[in-house]
């Protein structure tokens, strides 16, 4: 095996023009790690935020971007017993995915069935781990409860609809057009709310006979904070995972007290390994049976080649995509 590999880095903060192809040493495999030869990787909003200079990698993480890969194991480190060379895997990363090889702690690996392509496998770890951690671990979603998912047609929303339905929840979504709402309903959403034409808070009250929803998954942030709280049922939870609508808002604590409501804000990337390990365990338990049954829509909308990463970022920036963008290595 060559000692060096090709990898992408950002030479500054900015647009897709800051993406640079470099040569790096192939990572050495530490104890409890495996070395994965990367076959494909997913492109995520976090990668774009990092490129713009507003979302640096966690301390100690590689400067190579990329939060999820698929490929096969080519080397195993000390104390690794349950994984072997040649096994096909997908992996959740803090960074390092935009490369031909990456080293991964075994706790963050997902075994991939033969029927699943490398491209589809690369689109799974980040979005499914995000959804599982926020719907079930943080949000406590139970069978028979009702959830409102903002931005239902996006990558996170698409996965959240399917996993919430699989768990026996009633699912409402917001989206910006009739076309996007129809797409959400194909994935299993029970009710769609066009936020450009309807007040989601009012619609939720109508749909729940004034009771409100048990859980809200929110990518908007400040702009929706009070509306979300108003739309909750007693003992309801809002899990905030994005700030597309700003970072600062006022809220009525009286309404929160009356409802015993909770607002939870989380990120995935910077969590310690022990927490990520638990998230991956629960992700495998909830997601892989649906993959094996062939009932999960992974929804890769466009695939780019490794040599064309700049175009993949330009396409992401255009805002035209639904679903996942994957780069084939």
Question: pTM to 2 decimals?
Answer: 0.94
In a domain, 275, yes or no: no
Tell me whether residue 130 is exposed, middle or buried, using C-beta atoms within 10 angstroms of its C-beta: 0 to 12, 13 to 18, 19 or more. Answer: buried
State residue 323's pLDDT score. Answer: 76
Cα 58 from chain centre: 17
In a domain, 278, yes or no: no
Nearest to 190 by CA among 294, 238, 296, 203: 203
Indicate if 143 and 19 belong to the same structural domain.
Answer: no
Element spanning 233, H or E: strand 232-240
In a domain, 15, yes or no: yes
> What is the extent of the structural domain holding 311?
4-124+298-328
Query: DSSP character for 306?
Result: G
Indicate if 228 and 141 belong to the same structural domain.
Answer: yes
264-294: pLDDT as tens digits: 999 999 999 999 999 999 999 999 999 999 9
State residue 99's pLDDT score. Answer: 98
Indicate if 134 and 118 belong to the same structural domain.
Answer: no
Q: 161 Cβ partners below 8 Å, 6+ apart? A: 149, 152, 171, 173, 184, 187, 188, 189
State residue 321's pLDDT score. Answer: 74
Q: Report, as ranges of residue numbers, the positions in the chain whose pLDDT lies below 70.
A: 1
The C-alpha atoms of residue 184 and residue 94 are separated, in whole angstroms, by 29
State residue 1's pLDDT score. Answer: 62
How many folded domains does the chain comprise? Answer: 2
The CATH number linked to 8 is 3.90.180.10
State residue 319's pLDDT score. Answer: 78
In a domain, 9, yes or no: yes
Q: Are 46 and 95 in contact, with CB atoms under 8 Å apart?
A: no
């Amino acid at each position: 095996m060559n000692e060096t590999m090709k990898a992408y880095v950002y030479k500054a903060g900015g647009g897709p023009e800051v993406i640079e192809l470099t040569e790096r040493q192939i990572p050495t495999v530490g104890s409890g790690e495996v070395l994965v030869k990367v076959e494909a990787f997913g492109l995520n909003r976090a990668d774009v935020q990092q490129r713009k200079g507003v979302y640096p990698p966690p301390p100690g993480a590689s400067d190579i971007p990329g939060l999820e890969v698929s490929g096969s194991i080519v080397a195993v480190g000390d104390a690794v017993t349950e994984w072997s060379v040649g096994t096909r895997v997908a992996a959740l990363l803090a960074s390092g995915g935009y490369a031909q090889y990456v080293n991964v702690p075994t706790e963050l690996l997902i075994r991939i069935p033969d029927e699943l392509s490398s491209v589809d496998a690369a689109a799974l770890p980040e979005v499914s781990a995000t959804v599982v951690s926020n719907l079930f671990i943080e949000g406590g979603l139970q069978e028979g409860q009702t959830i409102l998912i903002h931005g239902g047609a996006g990558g996170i929303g698409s996965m959240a609809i399917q996993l919430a339905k699989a768990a026996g929840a009633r699912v409402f979504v917001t989206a910006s057009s009739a076309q996007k709402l129809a797409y959400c309903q194909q994935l299993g959403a029970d009710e769609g709310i066009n936020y450009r034409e309807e007040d989601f808070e009012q619609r939720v009250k109508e749909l729940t006979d004034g009771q409100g929803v048990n859980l809200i998954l929110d990518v908007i942030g400040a702009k929706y904070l009070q509306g979300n709280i108003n739309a909750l049922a007693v003992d309801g939870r809002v899990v905030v995972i994005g700030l597309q609508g700003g970072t600062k808002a006022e809220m009525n604590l009286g309404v929160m007290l009356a409802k015993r409501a909770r607002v939870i804000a989380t990120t995935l990337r910077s969590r310690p390994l022990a927490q990520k390990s638990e998230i991956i365990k629960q992700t495998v338990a909830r997601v892989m049976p649906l993959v094996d049954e062939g009932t999960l829509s992974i929804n890769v909308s466009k695939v780019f080649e490794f040599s064309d990463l700049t175009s993949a970022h330009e396409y992401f920036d255009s805002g035209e995509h639904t679903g996942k963008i994957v780069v084939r290595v």
